[in-house]
Structure 1
Amino acid sequence: MQYLKILFFFIRLFTSSYELIQNPNNDQYDEEFNLFLFAILAIGIVVSIFIIIIGIVLVLLILFAISALITMGALSTSLIVGLNKKSFTKGFKTFAMLICTLFSTVFGTLGFYIFNRIVHWYSNSTAIISGLVTGLVSGILFGLLATFTIQKVSNYLKNRLKTSM
């Protein structure tokens, strides 16, 4: 019986190799240019380049915003206040107050100047000074309101997170 198994194994081994030698490869390759696959490749490359460009622009905008905040001193000042007081919330409150005051002053000045150019009620210097004062006061008030609101919302979310655990 063992002899027959070995004989069958060798017969099978030699016939399969003989079969592979006699069977030529009749596969026909399609050498035609496939326009659909090329179009998908081109679209993929264009989308990839577009996404890379968007990423680069976003990174540059973020770097520009950070450098502008550092140049103005808002980020540096709030960081120094936070480190001096050893409190993240004090530093954030300082940052929010500075940013709100700065942007409200700029928008108030521009708003009063443009409004005065339309209605011609005051001189330009009076409109600019009025815009500066109004923007400064509204910026301080909005900064206080924003920090108060952010503090209350963060406390609410923190308490909600503790009760859900």
Structure 2
Amino acid sequence: MKTLVFLSIFLLTLLAAFNGMSQLPDSSHRDTTATSASWQKEDNTADDDFAPGLLFMALIGISLVCVCIGIGSILTITLLLLLFSFVLLGILSSSVFVGLNRRSFTSGFKTFVVSTFSIGGIGLGISLLYLTNYLFNLHLSHTTTLWMGGGVGLVAGVLLGLLSFILLQQLLGFFKQRIGLS
């Protein structure tokens, strides 16, 4: 046992004598011109932190994000077209029903024109009020913008629809008279 203690003390003394357990220098010496420490033996000039595995993982992640954005865009466009077609079919069917109920093509066409302009006026009114709110910093809430823009757009759409129907009637009468059908 004494020999084991003696041997371990002897080996620790040898390590300390040959600078094996000494502290590494904090900075370079005054007489050195290199920026690397003298105790650093490996060459780090070619190490530029390039990791091809991380690059491929990033490319896969970016590709996955782009695919998801594309799928989401396609689904959104499809659903908006479906909604637009349902609204258009509803306007068309209600106009046909009004025309058949009143037994007048003119009243059905009038219903179609006024309904179409009303729906378009609501969308345009909301969009214009959002744009005005953004440009002039009116500080309106989203709910206020929706209700005010929708209400003003509905009134403007109905009035514009009635005006356009009257103008179409006048234009049709003018062409009938010009051709000589009436």
The yes-or-no answer on 1:147 pairing with 2:170 is no
Tell me what 2:153 maps to.
Answer: 135
Give the alignment's TM-score, normalised by structure 1. Answer: 0.55
Q: For the pair shown, which has the larger CA radius of gyration, 1 or 2?
A: 2
Residues paired across the two proteins, number = 100
1:66 CA displacement: 5.9
For 2:114 and 2:128, locate their aligned partners in 1 and report how far apart those are by CA, in whole Å: 20
Please state if 1:80 is matched with 2:97: yes
CA distance in 1, matches of 2:87, 2:150: 21
CA–CA distance in 2 between the matches of 1:144 and 1:69?
A: 19
How far the C-alpha of 1:117 sits from its partner, in A, is: 2.3
For 1:156, the equivalent position in structure 2 comes to 174
Deviation string, structure 1 residues 39-59 (Cα, Å, up to 9, x no partner): xxxxxxxxxxxxxxxxxxxxx
Question: Is 1:104–1:135's contact at 8 Å kept on the other side of the alignment?
Answer: yes
The change in CA–CA distance for 1:124 and 1:66 in structure 2 (over 3 A counts) is closer
* 2:149 partner letter: G
Say if 1:116 and 1:124, in contact at 8 Å, map to a contact too. no
User: What residue number does 2:55 align with?
Assistant: none
Tell me how far apart the structure 1 counterparts of residues 163 and 107 of structure 2 sit (CA, whole Å).
15
SS of residue paired to 1:130: helix
TM-score scaled to structure 2, two decimals?
0.50
Distance 1:76 1:105 in 2: 20
How far is 1:119 from its partner? Answer: 2.3
Paired with 2:134 and 2:118, the residues of 1 have a C-alpha distance of 24
Cα-to-partner distance string for 1:87-129 (whole Å, 9 max, x where unaligned)? 1111000000000000011110111112212322122221221
Structure 2 portions without partners, runs of 5+: 1-81
The answer to which structure has the higher helix fraction is 1
Query: Is the Cα–Cα contact under 8 Å of residues 104 and 139 in structure 1 kept in the other structure?
Result: yes
- After superposition, the CA RMSD in angstroms is 2.2
Identity value in percent: 34
In structure 2, distance between residues paired with 1:129 and 1:160: 46
Runs of 4+ that moved beyond 2 A: 64-68, 117-120
Q: How do residues 2-151 of structure 1 correspond to structure 2 at under 5 angstroms?
A: 68-70=87-89, 73-121=90-138, 122-151=140-169
Gaps of 5+ in 1: 1-63
Aligned-partner Cα distance in 2 for 1:66–1:93:
20
